[in-house]
């Protein structure tokens, strides 16, 4: 049975660290802040002094490829991202990455302590093991655990983080290594977000712990680098074997979800046919024209505000009136798909998201940010149009009663 050793307090460092044994295999887990020079230095020191043969990093396979490949943005096809409807996953990843870059100091990049672990591990020929769950799985599980309005609230909170410009002191960065920082953060959120905490923090604590256990079966000395907010959670699970296969499961739409997607279009069609039935052909056609002009016009206005290509503006206008009846055709999605094809972002656009998002001008200057504006603003315009024409529809129906 694994025997825990009390947390070491080394003279050389104040970094949060846990050392213990899993069976006969010594394991060291270092808690880091992802933008701390001290964390980077400590990763290097431990690997050079203790020479572990297995190094675990809090990265999934896809993020590990991105960390190792400094030019990964050159290979990203943003048109394909929108075509496969993965825009929310990319947007969330870009926002979090940009926010961390703003917190970074000077030449420190988010995840540099992971890069150090990989570099030093490769130098010593250690086995490098990515132990985190795929970020797309985590985001999808979190996304499906909350309702539509909570999704919009969280997305707006993420977008708001792009406006943060203040420098973070070294003392504040060191506070980020406290084992309770993330727990305290989520404890302040309303109870309705408890499911998000479970997915993003608790599930991953269990997942990381099990992956470290599995790595210890194949290694002789294991060193793991994780965010300090996960350290205590990992220790709560590390001595218990768990089946984590369910944590990789992505929720699928149920039959009820699919029927709900047909219910609202059915109601709208029934109401419009009611106008034709009671008001006659002319009044019905007039209402349909208003529907097209109001929804299409507001969606096109959103695209214009985002400085979309004229073709994208036209497509937003055409897609908006259809969007209520066809869940596949949404004005924001169609316009952004067009924009990502007509104006492909440059590598420097991805690299300068954090910098360009600090001022309004940069939102239109940066092609990546602007494509997401082309995605969101026509959608918002079309939604406003839906409320307007729905109110108009009920006024017309009221006249028949």
Instruction: Give me the helix-helix angle, 135-144 and 61-68, nearest 10°.
Output: 130
pLDDT per position as a tens digit, 17-36: 999 999 999 999 999 876 67
Please, which residues have CB within 8 angstroms of residue 338's CB and are 6 or more apart in sequence? 308, 309, 311, 312, 315
Question: pTM surpassing 0.75?
Answer: no
The Cβ of residue 86 has, within 10 Å, a number of other Cβ atoms equal to 16
370 in Cβ contact with 338 (< 8 Å): no
Please, which residues have CB within 8 angstroms of residue 55's CB and are 6 or more apart in sequence? 47, 117, 118, 120, 121, 126, 127, 128, 129, 222, 223, 224, 225
| Residue 101, pLDDT above cutoff 80 | no
pLDDT per position as a tens digit, 111-146: 788 989 999 999 999 999 999 998 778 877 877 776
32 in Cβ contact with 226 (< 8 Å): yes
Categorize the per-residue pLDDT at 10 as very low, low, confident or very high, splitting at 50, 70 and 90.
Answer: very low
Please, which residues have CB within 8 angstroms of residue 317's CB and are 6 or more apart in sequence? 296, 297, 299, 300, 303, 331
The Cβ of residue 271 has, within 10 Å, a number of other Cβ atoms equal to 15
Characterize 206-230 residue by residue with b for buried, 16 or more Cβ atoms within 10 angstroms of its Cβ, and e for exposed. bbbbbbbbebbeebebbbbbbbbbb
312 alpha carbon, distance to own chain's centre: 25
Cα dihedral 343→72→154→326 (10° resolution) = 50
Q: Which residues pair with 130 in a beta bridge?
A: 57
pLDDT per position as a tens digit, 221-264: 999 999 888 898 999 999 999 999 999 888 776 666 667 667 77
Average pLDDT on 277-303 reads 89
Categorize the per-residue pLDDT at 2 as very low, low, confident or very high, splitting at 50, 70 and 90.
Answer: very low
Tokens describing residue 343: 């104006």
Characterize 126-162 residue by residue with b for buried, 16 or more Cβ atoms within 10 angstroms of its Cβ, and e for exposed. bebbbbbbebbbbbbbbbebbeeebeeebbeebeeeb
The Cβ of residue 300 has, within 10 Å, a number of other Cβ atoms equal to 25
Q: How far is Cα 33 from Cα 10, in angstroms, rounded to an integer?
A: 18
Most confident of 73-77, 195-199, 221-225, 253-257: 221-225
Categorize the per-residue pLDDT at 79 as very low, low, confident or very high, splitting at 50, 70 and 90.
Answer: low
pLDDT per position as a tens digit, 330-345: 898 899 889 888 887 7
Q: Output the DSSP codes for 179-234.
A: TTHHHHHHHTS-GGGHHHHIIIIIHHHHHHHHHHHHHHHH-SSEEEEEEHHHHHHH
18 in Cβ contact with 215 (< 8 Å): no
Distances (CA, A) of 319 to 50, 323, 328, 375: 61, 6, 10, 12
13 in Cβ contact with 45 (< 8 Å): yes
Tokens describing residue 113: 């302590």
């Amino acid at each position: 049975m694994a025997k825990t050793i009390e947390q070491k307090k080394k003279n050389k460092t104040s970094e949060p660290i846990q050392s213990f044994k899993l069976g006969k295999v010594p394991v060291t887990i270092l808690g880091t802040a992802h933008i701390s020079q001290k964390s980077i230095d400590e990763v290097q020191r431990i690997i050079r002094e203790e020479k572990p043969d297995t190094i675990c990093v809090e990265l999934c396979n896809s993020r590990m490829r991105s960390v190792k490949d400094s030019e990964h943005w050159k290979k990203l096809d943003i048109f394909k991202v929108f075509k496969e409807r993965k825009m929310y996953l990319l947007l969330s990843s870009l926002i979090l990455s940009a926010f961390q870059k703003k917190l970074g100091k000077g030449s420190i990049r988010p995840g540099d302590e992971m890069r150090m672990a990989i570099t030093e591990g490769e130098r010593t020929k250690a086995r490098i093991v990515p132990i985190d769950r795929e970020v797309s799985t985590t985001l999808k599980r979190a996304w499906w655990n909350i309702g539509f309005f909570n999704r919009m609230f969280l997305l707006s909170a993420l977008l708001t983080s792009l406006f943060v410009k203040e420098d973070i002191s070294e003392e504040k960065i060191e506070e980020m290594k406290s084992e309770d920082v993330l727990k305290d953060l989520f404890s302040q959120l309303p109870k309705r977000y408890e499911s998000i905490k479970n997915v993003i923090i608790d599930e991953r604590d269990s997942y990381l712990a099990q992956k470290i256990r599995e790595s210890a079966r194949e290694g002789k000395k294991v060193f793991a680098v994780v965010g300090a907010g996960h350290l205590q959670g990992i220790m709560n699970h590390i001595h218990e074997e768990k089946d984590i296969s369910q944590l990789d499961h992505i929720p699928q739409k149920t039959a009820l979800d699919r029927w709900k997607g047909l219910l609202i279009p059915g109601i709208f069609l029934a109401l419009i046919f009611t106008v034709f039935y009671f008001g006659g052909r002319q009044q019905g056609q007039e209402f349909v024209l208003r529907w097209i002009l109001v929804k299409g016009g507001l969606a096109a206005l959103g695209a214009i505000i985002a400085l979309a290509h004229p073709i994208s503006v036209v497509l937003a206008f055409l897609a908006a009136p259809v969007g209520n009846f066809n869940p596949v055709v949404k004005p924001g999605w169609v316009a952004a798909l067009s924009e990502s094809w007509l104006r492909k972002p440059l590598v420097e656009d991805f690299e300068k998201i954090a910098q360009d998002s600090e001022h309004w001008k940069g939102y239109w200057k940066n092609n990546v940010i602007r494509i997401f504006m082309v995605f969101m603003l026509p959608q918002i315009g079309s939604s406003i149009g839906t409320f307007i024409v729905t109110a108009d529809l009920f006024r017309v129906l009221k006249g028949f009663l």
